[in-house]
Amino acid sequence: MHYEHLIQVTDPADPRIDPMDRDALWRGLLARVYAPERFPFGPDDCRTQALDGSTRPEDATRLRRELHYGELRLVDEVTIQSGVSLVFQPERREGMPAIVLSLRLEEPQPGLLCLRFIYLSPAETDDPETDGLRQQAWLAADRDMVRTLRTWQAQGRL
């Protein structure tokens, strides 16, 4: 299954939307990589390890994360193209599809920042309603993330 959507983060022509520059938005996206526990419904804990020879995970272009949600432990790899994109590739788990999320920062016009979310699942269910519910959940989670980043921006935390 392929599901893709775009969220507009800024609009220089709309004074009701607080401005955010590309660097601040990127810092917020990196918080999702390195400190996902700061986000609503994030894990209880996240441990990172560089996979590209970097001495610090913060300098890595590829890293492994261990995410803890209570007793549940999930592992993924994140590929970072600085200032451009993040790709989250989960380890396969029995009973759970390994859904890849690609997140791209786009600027179709100067100051107009958008985030493109692309979800790729190895299999679709036989139930279009279930697929639709999954897509609605992804969209809601992505909107919550953007709302959190806007709040942090307004508070000077980006």
pLDDT digits (tens, 9 = 90+) for 117-126: 999 988 766 6
> Interior CA angle at 5 toward 25 and 80, to 5°?
45
Q: Examine the pLDDT at 80 and tell me if it is beyond 80.
A: yes
Tell me, what's the pLDDT at 121? Answer: 86
Q: Are 90 and 111 in contact (CB under 8 A)?
A: no
Q: What percent of the chain has pLDDT over 90?
A: 72
Average of per-residue pLDDT across 101-122: 95
The domain covering 9-112+127-153 belongs, at the CATH homologous superfamily level, to START domain (3.30.530.20)
**Between residues 34 and 97, the one the model is more confident about:** 34
User: Side by side, which strands form the sheet with 45-50?
Assistant: 2-8, 112-120, 100-109, 85-90, 72-81, 62-69, 45-50
Q: How far is CA 30 from CA 38, 58, 62, 75, 94, in A?
A: 12, 9, 13, 17, 29
Query: C-alpha distances in angstroms, 97 versus 43, 111, 119, 125, 138?
Result: 19, 37, 12, 11, 14
User: Could you read off the pLDDT of 52-64 as tens digits, one per residue?
Assistant: 999 888 889 999 9
Name the pTM for this structure. Answer: 0.92
